[in-house]
Structure 1
Amino acid sequence: MEEKVCTMQDLGPGDMIERTFSGKSIIICRSDQGIYAFLNRCPHQGALLSKGKIGGSPAATKNPGEYCFQREGEILRCPWHGREFDITDGGNTLTPDRSKLKEFMIKIEGEDVIVSTERKKSKAAQA
């Protein structure tokens, strides 16, 4: 099953919107690399990820006590416990091989963003 969930104009880089698809709440996220669709539930304890934020991640610098911000628009933070997920691959930033988000296939047809019930197997649709 496939369904149009939004248009490209609905979603700028770093944006996230909630939609219903196949009877389930999903989120559509966009980074500079592409568009992604996930089940709107954190795998940890079921928080609605749509209530979270997309941002970046702090990283250490060469100076003790100083950090920089990287990967802006690619990290989804759960609103309950602050777990972070890389939207470009759905993985938990601390343990990428565990606690992956349930991801759906996306394709772009003209300006339409189409989601499929087929589980995602490859990288995101290019924005």
Structure 2
Amino acid sequence: MVEQAVCKISDVEPGEMISTSFGSQEIVVCRTPDGRFYAFLNKCLHQGAPLDKGIMCGTSMEQSAPGKYHYGRKGEILRCPWHGREFDITNEGRMLANPTKKLPSFKVRVEEEEVIVYK
């Protein structure tokens, strides 16, 4: 198993992300509003856009009535900066539009003040 401390907890605000390195790979470390950490390769599946230049956001949810949508899951969706592909960071980085596709991910744990990524 390869593991590395990639940042401190305080480096990533809830609902935000940062880019960093894991070995020779550029990764993006995301933190949900409730404080959970996730890490993914910093490259969109579509055309390789740097995901850290995108945003952590929410997404349109199911209709409550015809033509009525609501916004939800704020801080759990990583949106690509180039073409708006959306990835659910809490579900293995799966693409919302096509859940059979997912971002390459890394395991994460927190020890004291450090965010540790491992594979």
Fold in common (TM above 0.5): yes
Q: TM-score, normalised by structure 2?
A: 0.90
Q: Where does the alignment leave 5 or more consecutive residues of structure 2 unmatched?
A: none
- Alignment size in residue pairs: 116
Tell me which of 102, 105, 108 is aligned to 1:106. 108
Q: Which stretches in structure 1 are left out of the alignment for 5+ residues?
A: 119-127
1:93 is aligned to 96
Q: Give the structure 1 partner of residue 41 of structure 2.
A: 39
Q: 1:64 to 1:8 in 2, by over 3 A?
A: same
Q: Which residue of 1 aligns with 2:52?
A: 50
Identity across the alignment (%): 49
Q: CA deviation at 1:18?
A: 0.3
RMSD over aligned Cα atoms: 1.3
For 1:18 and 1:83, how far apart are their aligned partners in 2?
18
In 1: Cα distance, 2:69 partner to 2:55 partner: 20
CA distance, structure 2, for counterparts of residue 6 and residue 70 of structure 1: 28
TM-score by length of 1: 0.85
Residues in 1 aligned to 2:99 and 2:65: alpha-carbon distance in whole angstroms = 27
Distance (Å, rounded) in 2 between the aligned partners of 1:49 and 1:14: 15
Q: Deviations over 1:73-103 (max 9, x none)?
A: 00111111111000012100121122x1000
